[in-house]
């Protein structure tokens, strides 16, 4: 490829830029899906829809938030970060649109009786995402991030196990498949948060001095992998409880090194810190649930609503701003979405814990708050994600 002539002028980037880089379509699809799917689920749970049914089995609700929402955000983030890590292209244009189409096809087919075709589309999506990451990583020999390829494939395998279990093809619990997938998401969040949260904190706040300790990083990631292994191997509850306590303490210690108390005036930073704190809460509740002291669903929603919901919306807003040439400052609408996610998490986890008879009200209130948060994100970021960068650079 020849370089441009010295006096040539680069053509302006096209105004419509949805397929320019992975974060654009997947963040937009994930935001809209999070808002609408949880709204419909909440309306059904509260019996506002009468006999109308949206994903009747609660396990389908969990499946779609894990393999629909969370997986879309992960793929969008990795396609975007992968280009920076390798200086090689990740899927764009028609290739990116094709990968997104697989994700969308699976979300539609799940609502039909044709779950076999949903399984095919979802599995193809995981494979396509893995290939989209493998090509630039291998071409650049970026060994540090090779593990993301088998991790994406493992996520696809957990999804396929869910479908095969539902169809009675394999003797593997659907709930176990969901838990393994959640553990994989937790590991991804732990890896990426460790890389970016201290850096984002120090870049945004002069003198913050957020730090890392190599030995603690090993304990954090090692204990998180042990949680995954314990669930995959279906180890005794007491073993899971012990591992979860160790992991909770390690994550809490890691967060302490990031100096969260200095982030109060910086919403685009505190959203990541506050969301990360939910990981320690989740692991502590998992230990208590394994011992039969609290319902397992509280631990699950501490992770899904508080940690995953908060970190993904925080990362989506920040990376969208950064990769479109915008200031790294949260608007009032973005800050409102952050608050709504965390109030929703607190209501969903702590209200039933304190007043068990208010569980229905807590679920409905939390669902409405979550939907409102992601509706605000989608509305605010539609023009940002569909239009070219402000500085005219590619991406």
Burial environment of residue 103 by CB neighbours within 10 A (0 to 12, 13 to 18, 19 or more): buried
Render pLDDT for 244-297 as a digit per residue (tens, 0 to 9). Answer: 999 999 999 999 999 999 999 999 999 999 999 999 999 999 999 999 999 999
Locus of tokens 């290939």: 131
- Tally Cβ neighbours within 10 Å of residue 122: 27
Render pLDDT for 19-46 as a digit per residue (tens, 0 to 9). Answer: 999 999 999 999 999 999 999 999 888 8
pLDDT in the model for residue 189: 96
Give helix 115-140 / helix 148-166 axis angle, nearest 10°.
170
Question: Three-class SS of residue 387?
Answer: strand
pLDDT in the model for residue 46: 81
pLDDT in the model for residue 14: 52
CATH homologous superfamily, domain 23-46+56-386: Cytochrome c oxidase-like, subunit I domain (1.20.210.10)
Distances from the Cα of 276 to the Cα of 193, 248, 298, angstroms: 8, 11, 16
Pair of tokens at residue 293: 């002291």
pLDDT band at 314 (very low <50, low <70, confident <90, very high): very high
Question: Three-class SS of residue 288?
Answer: helix
Q: What is the mean pLDDT of residues 92-110?
A: 97
Q: Are 193 and 217 in contact (CB under 8 A)?
A: no
pLDDT in the model for residue 91: 96
Whole-number Å distance between alpha carbons of 96 and 21: 8
pLDDT in the model for residue 328: 93
* Structural domain spans, the chain: 23-46+56-386
4 has a pLDDT exceeding 50: no
Instruction: Give the per-residue SS3 of 188-225.
Output: HHHHHHHHHHHHHHHHHCCCCCCCCCHHHHHHHHHHHH
pTM beyond 0.85? yes
Whole-number Å distance between alpha carbons of 41 and 64: 11
Percent of the chain with pLDDT over 90: 87
Render pLDDT for 46-95 as a digit per residue (tens, 0 to 9). Answer: 888 776 666 777 889 999 999 999 999 999 999 999 999 999 999 999 99
């Amino acid at each position: 490829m020849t370089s441009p002539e010295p006096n040539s002028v680069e053509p302006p980037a096209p105004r419509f830029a949805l397929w320019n880089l992975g974060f654009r379509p997947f963040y937009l699809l994930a935001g809209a899906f999070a808002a609408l799917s949880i709204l419909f689920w909440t309306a059904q749970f509260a019996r506002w829809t009468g006999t109308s049914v949206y994903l009747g089995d609660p396990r389908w609700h969990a499946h779609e938030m894990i393999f629909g929402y969370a997986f879309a955000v992960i793929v969008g983030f990795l396609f975007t970060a992968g280009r920076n890590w390798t200086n090689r292209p990740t899927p764009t244009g028609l290739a990116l649109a094709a990968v997104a189409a697989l994700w969308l096809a699976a979300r539609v087919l799940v609502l039909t009786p044709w779950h076999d075709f949903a399984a095919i589309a979802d599995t193809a999506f995981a494979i396509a995402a893995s290939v989209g990451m493998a090509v630039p990583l291998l071409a650049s020999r970026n060994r540090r991030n090779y593990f993301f390829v088998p991790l994406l494939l493992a996520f696809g395998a957990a999804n396929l196990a869910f479908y095969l279990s539902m169809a009675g093809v394999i003797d593997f619990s659907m709930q176990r498949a969901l838990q393994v997938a959640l553990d994989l998401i937790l590991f991804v969040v732990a890896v990426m948060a460790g890389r970016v949260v201290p850096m984002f904190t120090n870049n945004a706040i002069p003198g913050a001095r957020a730090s890392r300790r190599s030995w603690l990083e090993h304990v954090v990631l090692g204990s998180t992998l042990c949680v995954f292994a314990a669930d995959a191997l279906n180890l005794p509850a007491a073993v899971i409880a012990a591992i979860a306590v160790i992991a909770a303490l390690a994550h809490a210690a890691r967060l302490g090194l990031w100096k969260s108390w200095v982030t109060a005036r910086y919403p685009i930073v505190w959203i990541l810190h506050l969301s990360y704190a939910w990981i320690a809460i989740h692991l502590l509740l998992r230990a208590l649930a394994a011992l039969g002291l609290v319902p397992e669903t509280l631990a699950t929603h501490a992770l899904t609503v508080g940690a995953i919901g908060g970190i993904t919306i925080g990362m989506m807003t920040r990376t969208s701003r950064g990769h479109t040439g915008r200031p790294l400052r949260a608007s009032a609408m973005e800050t409102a979405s952050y608050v709504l996610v965390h109030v929703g998490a607190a209501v969903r986890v702590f209200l039933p814990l304190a007043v068990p008879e208010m569980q229905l009200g807590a679920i409905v209130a939390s669902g409405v708050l979550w939907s409102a948060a992601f509706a605000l994100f989608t509305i605010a970021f539609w023009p940002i994600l569909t239009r070219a960068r402000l500085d005219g650079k590619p991406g």
